Structure 1
Amino acid sequence: MNRHVGKRLVKYALRFKKNILIALLLLTVAVTAELSGPFIAKRMIDVHILGIEYPWYESDQGEDAVQYDGGWYKRSDHFENNEAKGEEARILQIGRDYYFIDEPIAFDGERSINENTLTIEKDGRQQSYGASEISNEELLAFYQPQIEPMIWLIALYFGLLVFASFFEYGQGLLLQTSANRIIQKMRTDVYAQIQRLHINYFDNLPAGKVVARITNDTEAIRELYVTVLATFFTSIFYMTGIFVALFLLDVKLAFITLTIVPLLVVWIIVYRKYASKFNKVIRARVSDINAMINESIQGMSIIRAFKRQQMTEQEFEELNDSHFTYQNKLLHLNSLMSHNLVNILRNISFVVLIWYFGGASLTSGAVISLGVLYAFVDYLNRLFQPVTNMVNQLANLEQALVAADRVFELLDEEGEDVADGMFPRYEGNVSFDHVSFAYKEDEYVLKNLSFEAKKGQTIALVGHTGSGKSSIMNLLFRFYDNQKGTISIDGKNIQDIKKQELRQHMAIVLQDPFLFTGTIASNVSLDDPSISREKVEKALNDVGADQLLRSLPNGYDEAVIEKGSTLSSGQRQLISFARALAFDPAVLILDEATSNVDTETEMIIQNALDILKKGRTTFIIAHRLSTIREADQILVLHQGEIVERGDHDQLMQKKGRYFQMYQLQQGKKIEQAV
């Protein structure tokens, strides 16, 4: 995985850094509040529960004083600074029973009781004291001063949980919102980039693969921002807070626990090394599957007509099996390195902790207190929850990084910014001066072409398939740029004009017209605010569309679904033709515009053309030579060269290639008629 992918993902995130920083601040507060729980529990255990073994002193009757055996006693930590203390006494626990000693103890260690004698042993030393067993009622009296503080601590704990939940909600909302904003921006950038890409990019990449990058890949990246990064942010903050708490509890224990961090880092590195390979193949297979599905839907009629269903299913199954195989490999990797391994680490940590420190804490003179041990176990248990969360997100992380690499690859493709400016309408005098063009280097499809088209003239391009007719149109629209020669409009080199500005005053009608989802009217205007409803209807009427569309229930507001599949080819062609005319182009291009319509519709279009061609330069690419008899100039192309030129009568008199083509078509018509 390229390092720049991570940097660019961070760069996108920094666009919304304000919200993210606020979210992280809220997260810090929430984590601090939530992680205070074990500290509260530690205080309850060490001070308010086990604190009964603190020294007690005789005192006067009063607050926090406890009556026992005719005297009053107060725990050492309840005395004021200037308050007088009497004789010291101790309360010690042996097993489940408590004993009162009316004197201080010299040292603490292993305790035993024999009748009324309590013995303490440590390091070979032994000391005995007279002791009396405390009843349950008396013990409860000694604990009575601790009840109210414990209630306050419990209330504080629940209050902090509620407090933390509000901040947790706030940080989650901000992080998720920021993540959605980030991916919204990225999708906008990707779609805008598609508008900037050169046409040849789409020649080499199936539509399904492009769609996969906009939808599937950006969705995987969305998971990165919405789920993965949010989880990692939260988990890292949570783990940091836990380690701070652990160091506050016990430095030695904290350093031992800190070994989990390098283990986790190594874990992630090893996982990514293998997961990256699998995910790259998986994302590629998803694109291939999308491309094949898109192609199959587009060519469904051909697949069925030629009985290719079984072969198509087999090809799909091969892609699907490959996808399944690598998904299984990734699944095995995830199973091996998932939370099960986290549970193993957790259990090992608990065993080490209890073995090394736990036994000592349960005896007198413990290295650490029982409250510290409880808090440490609690924090250790909490520590593995964010570790588990991060490990469970590693698969999504790797998928997102692979997807991001593919998206950034698309964004890095060379393109051209869309120009917003208006370009003055040109006259439409088109000139090709020694133009040569190749789609692939040194494989020229147009060779040294030279011709002129004056304003208002109609230029027809004829020739067999592959002769270069459509390539001339591609150059005129600057879908591609010629390598040699000059193409000019009104004497200005078109390569000196921005592509979008050049196309403002051009229009094209394709052999297979493309209609967008919407209505007939919206397909004519393309929702351009400068095209009024009146202009739309006039364009439709001028091309004679009213004769073919009046039967539709909603007229010009009839709904059009994808590609206009519910309309006849003649209706689609008329709508496409009206679309071109509504924009009042200076240069009009008809690319086999009448080849897919019936004779009656063709007559309607021809009648409209006679009126609409006036005042604009028109290029016609035609196979039906009968439709271009009135053209001002006919260019006959063969293998990328102009082999004949002139009007219909001139070319017929030459009895060359055009004459042969015309006679052949006329002969076919006669045979069909007979």
Structure 2
Amino acid sequence: METQDLNEQPMTRLDNKTITKRLYQYALRAKKTFIVALIMLVIGVGAELAGPFIAKNIIDNHMFAIEQPFYETTASDTNAAAYNGKFYKREGLWAEGATKGTEAHVLQSGASFYFVEGPMQTTTGEKTYANGKLTISSPQGEQAVYNAVPLSAGELFSFYKPELPSIYKLIGLYFIFLIISIITEFGKTYWLQSSANKVIQQLRIDLYAHIQRLPVPFFDNLPAGKVVSRVTNDTEAVKDLFVAVLANFSSGTVYMLGVYVALFILDFRLGLVCLFLVPVLIAWVMIYRKIATKYNKIIRSRLSEINAIINESIQGMSIIRIFRKQKQTQDEFEQLNNDYLFYQNKMLRLNALTSHNLVNVLRNLTLAMVLWYFGSAALGGFDSAISLGVLYAFVDVLGRLFQPMTGMVNQLAALDLSMVSAGRVFELMDEEGEAVTDGSMPRYKGDVQFKDVTFAYKKDPVLKNINFEARQGQTVALVGHTGSGKSSIINLLFRFYDPQQGKITIDGQNVRDLPKQWIRQHMGIVLQDPYLFTGTIASNVSLDNEKISRERLEQALRDVGADTILADLPKGFDEPVVEKGSTLSAGQRQLISFARALAYDPAILILDEATANIDTETEALIQSALEVLKRGRTTFIVAHRLSTIRSADQILVLHRGEIVERGTHDELMEIDGRYRQMYRMQTGIGSNAVPDGTERPEDREVPVPAGLVGRTT
């Protein structure tokens, strides 16, 4: 059953003209190799099409040339044929102005050849031999009778013998063109595909670089699997456009152009007969693409959705198994896969009903027309007919015309799929990204001020009139129920988003006036679930930053107590880390993220539930390290465990996007307010629930992305 396509992301749809123009601009980046490939292609086409002309020359000027008049000569040379003690030279082999002797002819009737001495009125028409007489009947009913002598095989060979040196030369020339064709075919294929690889390499680099510049809100609505699909599957389909489609269409176009030139050189009438193929092919391409584009857009969309569900399933495999969601996940995957198969089969039916069938019909129709019109006339001996050599060359050249046509038609499916994929890639690249500003700014002190800040992800504000100030070296804790706005403040601080009202300043300067990368350069974050990259423990601390020496990262690891916790690892700080650090414990991963923050020495440090996943023993070990880490820095702590923020210089209690209480731990405990009730609930001193503490859908907020200290986006 046909299902409706799902919108992955509201993007501007590009037309084929725009896509083609942008692909052409990318192709220009490898224009030198493309030009070399095109030159090779033209030379190869010329060399290959020389074959039929050589064959025509052999047939018309040598094999059937013995039906031209012969003249007796007294000289015995390589161009003369010996017969009955006399020498005869064919008309085309006489030097200009030479004296010719008695005229003679060698004519064929059926499978036998006959020698006729003397001039003849005509040599064309139906020939019959009987009783030493050769009768030639014209189409108009006139007859001419001549005395003729049958030729034996040896005598006939003597007339062909003078033709052999020229035939051998032509055959040698044919092999030379064949070698040229082989060399140019290799060069064309190599240079064309190497050019395509360079183009796709640059396209992937540009696409990946643009993804790094896309704002965080863009990824809120587009699953990671769909982004991966565009970087991998769609760019690979674009590669097929340059490697297979472009190779077939460019070579096919040049080849067909060369074939038409050859057809008109052979016979002007033959070329005119075959011109009808061009509009038929163009019309077919337009009709096919109109139908196929609709299917291919859905096919690429379904493939992205399949990648997205696979990516999500792998990341959440433990949850799927714990809650026994395998069957539901499998059903969702099968539904997408079946839908993908449905449209793939539609494309297969479209290709099976057309492509090769179309070319066969056109080939047979053209050959039938030519053989009917020209072939019958030639065999009948009419003067208006073409020679057998021309007819042979034409059939050969015409067969070569349909070879590239078959390749072009069979590549229509890949062409349309590649254009759809290219459109998806360029649509993603057209998404507005964050400006990247080179350079850096001096490390700021870290005095942060929020003034009348109001912010909403969509319509409903998640922060309302937020006002607070954090001085250098102070620790500010953000507490409140889920959805109260804690992570939204951090998002604004990192400038993943900007507020709709109010302003945020760092050292008195509005953050909107500073490049985002410069601000983040001196910020660090430690998340509740830290993100580790594939590499080693040491590389995850330095993130391959050349400014962080080996001594500095090892000192950072020791300062946070990692040398004790990681001491049991076989390779110590050089222990390999797999994706997300899944082979390390939660405490080990957290220690590495603490060391990372310390090594980058940020002016503003954010601890987002940094000790929530750490056991009590490990937490005690790093509490002292935290004091070292926070020293001299403005620190923001997002905390649910209130016991970890008792020493904070300022605690901001948020509820539904507003700061409802603020002060130190002791000051807030003196007030019988929300903070005191939360603290009593966690410590067991009281059992009163937090008023209105139930999470509402509108209170939910986008969590802080897995940002990296010192990394710019």
Query: 2:385 matched to 1:371?
Result: no
For the pair 1:285 / 2:299, whether they are aligned, the reply is: no
Cα distance between partner residues in 2 of 1:418 and 1:510 = 25
Find the aligned partners of 1:115 and 1:514 in 2 and give their Cα distance.
Answer: 105
Structure 2 equivalent of residue 109 of structure 1: 125
**Which AA in structure 1 matches 2:418?**
A
- The Cα shift of 1:622 comes to 0.4
Match of 1:100? 115
Kindly state the Cα deviation for residue 115 of structure 1 after the two structures are TM-superposed. 1.4
- Residue in structure 2 matching 1:46, options 34, 43, 60: 60
Of 292, 295, 300, the match for 2:317: 300
Q: Indicate yes or no: 2:358 matched with 1:344.
A: no
- Alignment partner of 1:617 is 2:634: yes
Q: How does 1:236-635 map to 2 (within 5 A)?
A: 236-366=253-383, 367-441=385-459, 443-635=460-652
Partner of 1:120: 136
Give the letter for the 2:102 counterpart.
E
- Per-residue deviation, 1:352: 1.5
Q: What amino acid sits opposite 1:353 in the alignment?
A: V
Partners of 1:547 and 1:424 in 2: CA distance: 35
1:416-452 C-alpha deviation (Å, 9 max, x unpaired):
23333021100110011111111114x1111111110
Any stretches of 5+ residues in structure 2 without a counterpart?
Answer: 1-14, 689-713
Partner of 2:672: 655
CA shift at 1:628, angstroms?
A: 0.3
The structure 1 residue matched to 2:228, chosen from 211, 214, 220, is 211
Read off the aligned partner of 2:22 and give its amino acid letter: R
Q: Which amino acid aligns with 2:219?
A: F
Structure 1's 281 and 520: CA in aligned 2 closer, same or farther, altered over 3 A? Answer: same
Aligned residues of 2:80 and 2:89 also touching (Cα < 8 A): yes
Partner of 1:80: 95
2:653 is the alignment partner of 1:636:
yes
Residue aligning to 1:196: 213
**Change in CA separation of 1:308 and 1:447 when aligned onto 2, cut-off 3 Å:** same
In 2, Cα distance between equivalents of 1:312 and 1:104: 94
Residue 703 of structure 2 is matched in structure 1 by: none
Residue 505 of structure 1 and its aligned partner are, at CA, apart by: 0.5
Distance 2:16 2:38 in 1: 27
- State the 1:61 CA deviation: 2.3
Q: Do 2:650 and 2:663's aligned partners in 1 also have CA atoms closer than 8 Å?
A: yes
Match in the other structure for 1:33 = 47
Q: How many angstroms apart in 2 are the aligned matches of 1:201 and 1:528? A: 27
Equivalent AA in structure 2 for residue 541 of structure 1: R
Cα distance in 2, alignment partners of residues 363 and 2 from structure 1:
52
Rounded to whole Å, the distance in 1 between the matches of 2:213 and 2:119 is 88
1:668 CA drift (Å): 8.2
* Cα distance in structure 1, aligned partners of 2:267 and 2:628: 94
2:106 to 80, 83, 91: 91
Q: Deviations over 1:3-42 (max 9, x none)?
A: 2111111111112112211211111111101100000000
2:27 — aligned with what?
13
Say whether the 8 Å CA contact 2:680–2:687 is kept in structure 1: no
Structure 1 window deviating more from structure 2 (18-27 vs 519-528): it is 18-27
SS at match of 1:550: coil
Return the letter of the residue paired with 1:342: V
Partners of 1:159 and 1:611 in 2: how far apart?
A: 81
Q: Provide, for residues 592-622 of structure 1, a one-character-per-residue CA deviation record: whole Å limited to 9, x for no partner.
A: 1111111111112211111221111000000
What's the offset of the Cα at 1:670? 11
Shift of 1:294: 0.4
Distance in 1 (CA, whole Å) between partners of 2:81 and 2:374 is 35
Distance (whole Å) between structure 2 residues aligned to residue 417 and residue 561 of structure 1: 32
Q: Secondary structure at the match of 1:168?
A: helix
**Do structure 1's residue 229 and structure 2's residue 249 form an aligned pair?**
no
1:366-420: CA deviation from partner (whole Å, max 9, x where unpaired): 5100000000000111111101101111111111011011101100000023333
**Secondary structure of residue in 2 paired with 1:85:** coil
Q: Give the 3 Å change call, closer, same or farther, for CA 372–648 of structure 1 in structure 2.
A: same
CA distance in 2, matches of 1:25, 1:211: 37
Q: For 2:231 and 2:685, how far apart are their aligned partners in 1?
A: 48
1:70 — aligned with what?
A: 85
Alpha-carbon separation, structure 2, partners of 1:614 and 1:381: 83
Query: Is the Cα contact below 8 Å between 2:444 and 2:603 reproduced in 1?
Result: yes
SS across alignment from 1:456: coil
Deviation at 1:126, TM superposition (A): 1.7
Identity across matched positions, percent: 59
Structure 1 residue 247, shift from structure 2 partner: 0.3
Structure-2 separation of matches of 1:539 and 1:670:
41
Change (3 A) 1:263 1:598: same
Q: TM-score of the superposition, structure 2-length normalised?
A: 0.93
- One-letter code aligned to 2:53: F
Instruction: Give the partner amino acid of 1:652.
Output: M
Separation of aligned partners in 2, 1:33 and 1:2: 35
Distance 2:331 2:188 in 1: 49
- Give the TM-score of the pair, scaled to structure 1: 0.98
How big is each residue's C-alpha offset from its partner over 1:276-327, in whole Å with a ceiling of 9 and x where there is no partner? Answer: 1110110000000000000001111111111100111011100000000000
Q: Size of the alignment, in residue pairs?
A: 670
After superposition, the CA RMSD in angstroms is: 1.3
Unaligned runs of 5+ in 1: none
Partner SS state of residue 129, structure 2: strand
